[in-house]
Amino acid sequence: MTNDRETKKSTMGGDEREYRRLAMTLAAVLFLGTFQLGEGELKGDYSKLSGIIIPGFASTQLRAWSILDCPYSPLDFNPLDLVWLDTTKLLSAVNCWLKCMLLDPYNQTDHPECKSRPDSGLSAITELDPGYITGPLSSVWKEWVKWCIEFGIEANAIIAAPYDWRLSPSMLEERDLYFYKLKQTFETALKLRGGPSIVFAHSLGNNVFRYFLEWLKLEIAPKQYIQWLDDHIYAFFAVGAPLLGSTETVKGMLSGNTFGLPVSEGTARLMFNSFGSSLWMMPFSKYCRADAMYLKHFSGGIRKGPNAYQCEQKEFHSNYSGFSTNIINIEIPSTRGIDAYPSVSEFSQTNYSSMECGLPTQLSFSAREISDGTFFKAIEDYDSDSKRTLHQLKQSYHDDPVLNPLTPWDRPPIKNVFCIYGVDSRTEVGYYFAPSGKPYPDNWIITDVIYEIEGSLVSRSGNQVEGNPGPASGDETVPYHSLSWCKNWLGPRVNITRAPQSEHDGSDVQVELNVEHHNEDVVPNMTRSPRVKYITYYEDSESIPGRRTAVWELDKANHRNIVRSPALMRELWLQIWHDIHADSPSKFVTKAKRGPLRDDDCYWDYGKARCAWPEYCEYRYVFGDVHLGQSCRLRNSSADALLHYV
């Protein structure tokens, strides 16, 4: 018989849960002592730390800040009513709902009849649409917060930094003073708790944090910039970061991406293209860079000049800007302007013989040609939205005075950087578009999709695909090429470890030490069991003094759900636990073994008729348990087991 892990609800009484929390907290106090900061190391009581969460795209609640009467619907919008995401109002009053969601595509102002603003606090990011049914379906950071509570983290130690994810980076500061407030959040956390913060960013939240670091250079004296970062930020955990953009953004801009909402693709496109942030996630070339308009040197001088956008020769020698294939393949209609978008009735009366005068032309575009505006200029006569896109691209991105976000990342100047993402899921990397004959926003249809799947390229239609597939695939939303860019941040020598995601005894752990790394992708020569999901760790063996960098690849971890992954949350907790221990012999937590850390990790082993992991778990019935697995709980002394991970 095989081991049968059963999902179980926590039925442990309040006294027992409180005992375990106190036991783990006391273990920290007894074994850790005082708080000190060394070179890239944290030693002391973890109660000094704060965790600041920067959520991703569409991961913050938006609330109405207007009174809007919705005709033909019993539901109106009043101040503080939930807008994103209230599925009830979306279904019953979609036109009203859209008024509260849409922004002016040119100046990012609100609709004249309704405006929305981001909610505040942890409740703004835990569940987007709270409710018995909709709550679990829209859960984002709720499981993350539950883990923190189970391990005794205080309420004021977890700080959410929600933002209006519809806005471009410059508008976040101009309208909401978001980056100024974020700076104050870090400074308040330091005064309140006496220690630096750990930044947890997901998806677009990583782009937001990158812009904050560049904005900070213009707010702090050059000689104090690095010191401010060292004092206020201990570590940066970049989860699912689209470091070179996401190809799925192109689909949203041209044909619409509903994200599972009960709206048409045309409506989704109309809404998405009104957001200034839609361009923030466009794919771009790793070979092209731009200087900021305001260049602040550490010598103290400030110089204003044009944004110089320059590409290496490799960009012109490679076909796909470093990606695995061309991102856009589009048929250009034979007619231009308004004639390219007849109404449905006009289209039905068209004499198809007229098409013989001019056949459509298929054009292909790389990531660079999308991000620099070449693609949108090419379809300007065929798509009424291209002028808006070009205006927004120049105003909010190419001419941004702080940073052109559509350029490759350098390693953030933070002591400890952990880049975490999912791999080997089927991910869209290219599209074939054709004119639909319908008016905007339904004027393009997708005729084929190119996917990357575990190191190969396939098309939805089965046609042969030309390209250069990478060694792995992405996380269903962001391609591997974009996610793995952070491997360039690793040092010249790297230690690679591959271990199962689930609890293990170390028998299936593979290690490669001191692998040479030359600012490129690192691919281990390791085996995989087809039924096991692994985590592959890439960790600095040699690095800049006082700096650590690690990359974690989680097999089959979905982009949107990775923040709810128990394996990820366990590894984060163990790494932080390792860092605060005063006698840690290594820079990173050991991967040799993983045992249960929570009651939910214990289960009944039917083959051996006992609780699995007997050194960690024991059978202890509590009134209300309905099956054997529920009665398997951690031993009272399991807090001591954490000492194996220092």
Which residues are designated catalytic? 203, 475, 518
Strand order in the sheet with 62-64: 82-84, 62-64, 116-118
Q: Which of 222, 253, 266, 237 is nearest to 551 (CA)?
A: 237
330 Cβ contact partners less than 8 Å away, ≥ 6 residues apart = 362, 363, 364, 365, 379, 432, 433, 434, 444
**134 phi/psi in degrees, rounded to 5:** -75, -25
C-alpha 473: how far from its chain's center?
16
Beta-bridged to residue 605, according to DSSP, are 610
Task: Tell me if residue 202 falls in helix, strand or coil.
Answer: strand
> Distances from the Cα of 2 to the Cαs of 601, 607, 612, in angstroms?
17, 6, 12
At position 261, the amino acid (one-letter code) is: L
Beta-bridged to residue 494, according to DSSP, are 515, 540
- Angle made by CA atoms 111, 113, 118, in degrees to the nearest 5: 60
Burial 181-218 (b: 16+ CB within 10 A, else e): ebbebbeebbeebebbbbbbbbbbbbbbbbbbbbbbbe
For 211-279, the three-class secondary structure string (H helix, E strand, C coil) is HHHHHHHCCCCHHHHHHHHHHHEEEEEEECCCCCCCCHHHHHHHCCCCCCCCCCHHHHHHHHHHCHHHH
What's the full length of the chain, in residues? 646
DSSP assignments along 486-543, one per residue: GGGGS-SEEEEEEEESS-B-STT-EEEEEEE--SS---------TT--EEEEEEEEE-
Q: Please give the Cα distance from 171 to 186 (Å, whole number).
A: 21
Beta-bridged to residue 432, according to DSSP, are 329, 448
Q: Please give the Cα distance from 517 to 519 (Å, whole number).
A: 6
314 Cβ contact partners less than 8 Å away, ≥ 6 residues apart = 287
Rounded to the nearest 5 percent, the helix, strand and coil shares of the chain are: 35, 20, 45
**445 phi/psi in degrees, rounded to 5:** -125, 150
